[in-house]
Amino acid sequence: MVILGDRYNFSKIELERLKKRFNNITHISYKHKGIKESIRIVEGIRRDTPITLIVLNTKVKLPHKFITYLSKLEPKGINYMTLEEFLEKHLNKCYLNFNSDSKSCLEDIHPYTPFQYCQKRFIDYFAVITLFPITLLAVIYSWYRVKKESPGSLFFTQKRVGLSEKEFTCIKLRSMHLDAEANGAQFAKKDDPRTFPWGKKIRDNKLDELIQLWNVFKGEMHFVGPRPERKIWTKEFEKSIPYYTQRHVVAPGITGLAQIKYQYGSGKLDAEQKLMYDLYYIKNWSLFLEIKIIWKTALFVLTKKREDLSNF
């Protein structure tokens, strides 16, 4: 595979995932190169390494002559695709060009249809019933451990932003000390020092979020969907990340595509990356995608390994 241009900066994790599908990945910077030089470089790579795909990752529109050259390669088994097409097909992300006024990327971002909503609610209630015994055991044992390690309330409630940007009270098993935000609101992070021993364990295993099945039962959340954020963060992200509010066209979820694909978020850059996954999920929702996310969530809880792209 050849990545032509520097429009999108592929992360180390993304490149590692792509290497499981493409044996060789070569990057060519298109900046300050003419058509002839670019063609010469591609031809040089073809002689040394088998190529099956060229990703058009350029910031400028490619000249007609270069597109003609790429078209002539297709009968030889070398395809080309735009960055937007590539990210959706191979990385399950909806690319957002934050430097463009075009809204074409949002054309298929819409609320669930009535039939899709019925399917979602069926999955929600099935999850509530199936996971109720585990949730009950987690609550009972957590009461015992919390009493020993961090005396205080067992449950932690917090206002979160849900469907249509309406706030609701989200409930969790408390995993942090009571003074966790004595210095103001903070993002949660991996190995957060504000947790107590049992709190860290239930966070790592996502058991602290099982109690949110109550929010799912009430219809404030789905089992699968974008994670709900606090208003203090959504307001901040809305100022700097275009289209951020589009994730609120559907209700949030306990788990989701961004949760199995990406690590804990801790700022604007992480919020942008997670938004691309959330919008892909909304845009491409299907019952099959829903089941895959649930399956990958179960694997992550059991193995602690992020979703493997090659098996998604």
- 228-275 pLDDT, tens digit per residue, is 999 999 999 999 898 899 999 999 999 999 999 887 666 788 899 999
| 151 and 297 belong to one structural domain | yes
The answer to the question of residue 98 being in a domain is no
Beta bridge pairs of residue 167: 161
The answer to the question of residue 96 being in a domain is no
Residue that finishes a domain, picked among 40, 59, 91: 91
Counting the structural domains of the chain, the total is 2
| Distance, CA of 249 to CA of 252 (rounded, Å) | 9
| 33 and 129 belong to one structural domain | no
Structure confidence at residue 82 (pLDDT): 94
Give the range of the structural domain holding residue 168, as residue numbers without chain letter.
Answer: 114-311
The answer to whether 221 and 253 have CB atoms below 8 angstroms apart is yes
Structure confidence at residue 164 (pLDDT): 96
| 43 and 119 belong to one structural domain | no
Q: Report pTM.
A: 0.89
The answer to the question of residue 99 being in a domain is no
Q: Which two tokens stand for residue 61?
A: 């529109």
The answer to the question of residue 6 being in a domain is yes
Tokens 């499981």 correspond to what residue?
Answer: 20
The answer to the question of residue 106 being in a domain is no
| 136 and 82 belong to one structural domain | no
| Distance, CA of 32 to CA of 10 (rounded, Å) | 21
The answer to the question of residue 184 being in a domain is yes
Task: Please give the C-alpha separations between residue 213 and each of 54, 217, 227, 247, 256, in angstroms, as whole numbers.
Answer: 44, 6, 14, 21, 14
Per-residue model confidence as pLDDT tens for the chain (312 residues): 999 999 999 988 899 889 989 988 999 988 877 788 888 999 999 988 889 999 999 988 888 999 999 999 999 999 999 999 999 999 999 998 776 666 777 788 999 999 999 999 999 999 999 999 999 999 999 999 999 999 999 999 999 999 999 999 999 999 988 877 666 666 666 667 788 999 999 888 889 999 999 999 999 999 999 999 999 999 999 998 988 999 999 999 999 999 998 876 667 888 999 999 999 999 999 999 999 999 999 998 888 665 554 466
